[in-house]
Structure 1
Amino acid sequence: MTVDMAPETDAAGLARRCEAALIEYLDRQRPHWPDGTPRGVLDAVRRFVLADGKRVRPLFCYWGWRGAGRPDGRPIVTAAAALELFHAFALIHDDIMDGSETRRGRPTVHRHFADVHTSRSWKGDPVRYGYSAALLCGDLCAAWADQLFHESGLPIEWIHRGHRLFTVMRTEVIAGQYLDLVSGVGDGSVAGALTVIRMKAARYTVTRPLQIGAALADGGPELHAALQAFGDPLGDAFQLRDDVLGVFGDPVLTGKPVTDDLREGKPTVMLAMARDRAGRAQAARIRELFGTPDLDDAGAAELRDIITATGARDGIEDLITRRTTEAMTALAAAPLSVPARTALEELASSVVARDR
């Protein structure tokens, strides 16, 4: 059953309010940009940050706050929107490390700057220039996330409570990214891949945003424990769905070619599961094809067939279902306000049952 909420606090309304906070903040940066510095960096960051309208992480942060009994207001929406700038930092750097060409149906930030270099016939290597410029854009997003969080308008002692978890989240993401880097040079196990997604993506998508919102609201230890019991398995399910879409999704909807993860050799739980279940001939073909930089559509199709034939795709769907059930069971027992519980039920469904 769907419970009607005020338009400004439903998912679409909150996403628009977060976007408005981001636009206001980004527009304030332009006059402070040093004289003589090209505006292209600001424009590229602005386009990238505003390209995706779902605002999943800010929504979880907002409902962590509301779950602790705090009222709606502009300051919490602004603080939550800061998570979107941190998300932009993580995506830009992830695309650099993966060498991805597209994101959200557009060129990645490093690809954009490489194209600018080429179009203007500048000297030097356009690829290296693109990576360097994108690295700076990601760093800028990380710095701005911190600034926007502190300038949200909430009392400073409240911000300090939330910022402690903000720091934990940043550390986990970087540690998870390093684990992902390490696992990418070996075959990897299902358990190892699950650890990577928990650290690199699941926690910073669901659990930490929820807990940051609760910390800002001065929620107690019981609430924080309940939010983690809900957020960790839901975050796993979210990332597992993302990995399935990366290989089997519709590129028109996902904005990313379905060959990218296979060509990059992305060490997902699904690939680790396929390796575990593969016969000798299937395992040999996985070794030959997976992570091949020039993997073509036919090779990608063969890998998808192997993943399906081994039962790995069905295994991941089963794991998504089990993780989601675990999360919803924890949510039912969590000490939350009724509006927050209802909103989180709907948000949980939307992040798992999605096609992009």
Structure 2
Amino acid sequence: MDQRLKAKLIERALAEGFSACRICRPTDVAHVADDLAGFLKQGHHGSMGWLAERSHWRGAPNVLWPEAKSVIMLAEEYGAGDQLEAPSSAGLVSVYARNKDYHDIVKKRLKRLARWLIAEAGGEVKVFVDTAPVPEKPLGQASGLGWQGKHTNLVSRELGSWFFLGSIFTTLDLPVDEAEVDHCGSCRACLDACPTDAFPAPHQIDARRCISYLTIEHKGPIDEELRAKLGNRIYGCDACLEVCPWNKFAREAKEIRYHARDDLVAPPLAELAALDDAAFRTKFSGSPIKRIGRGRFVRNVLYAIGNSGDQSLLEVARELCGDDEEVVADAARWAVERLRA
């Protein structure tokens, strides 16, 4: 095993724009299969059927690609500084989604680093960022990048909570790093901050109550019990990340394409509600928001309108009560009732 190659790899990763680079084995996360099985058995995955369908891979990275001997885990910061709030008449978009889609940016960076590794040392590689059945957070902890906090997200003593993960699987036998241990202690700030009580217990999440799941993955109407708890969050949620004390070490994103677009820091709800399909696609071209479609997005906007208490938005909601998409019309009727009340 070549420590010099590893040192050059880390140097190259940082030069490519990554914030940290660590290495583990595909077999270092043996606990994931049982953890995932328990998560699925309780139905905490909601409508994300793909988690169950590909659990045999997600639960065992060595099964996903048996020839792989090492997993290179990369972190990339996307922090937004203090731009974390918006007035009730404006929408609140999760920090990671306020500009370009990180999948494209991180994957291109991973591919450049992987090509360099092949040229430098040979072997075969596969790159993954979020969309493949890879247990990135457990691998991140096994590699020493950070640990899975009580909110189940990865936390780093050097980077805080605001960072993306990517991985390079390789047939090269590289020196590994020591796994990170839990540094949450008795803190439960993330659990207490969740507006919908989505954490049945520390280190467990019920996606069916998670605002990120509800506003992005859930396709139909959201349960009325939860609508009022969404506040003005129209795409994703950062509540549990924002309060983590380890974010005192977080830094603003170096990558300019992660910096928030001016029109997505506090976008007026009235303007967003008026988007038809063509306007929605144009506005969110190159954004992760585009993938949920106009119907789901305007549904979220109307829930925010209903929660705003802003009577000037009553007519905006009323005009959408007859929308062609029933999920939008249902949300509009609810918003009208809320504002009237």
TM-score (norm 2): 0.32
Higher helix share: 1
- More strand by proportion, 1 or 2? 2
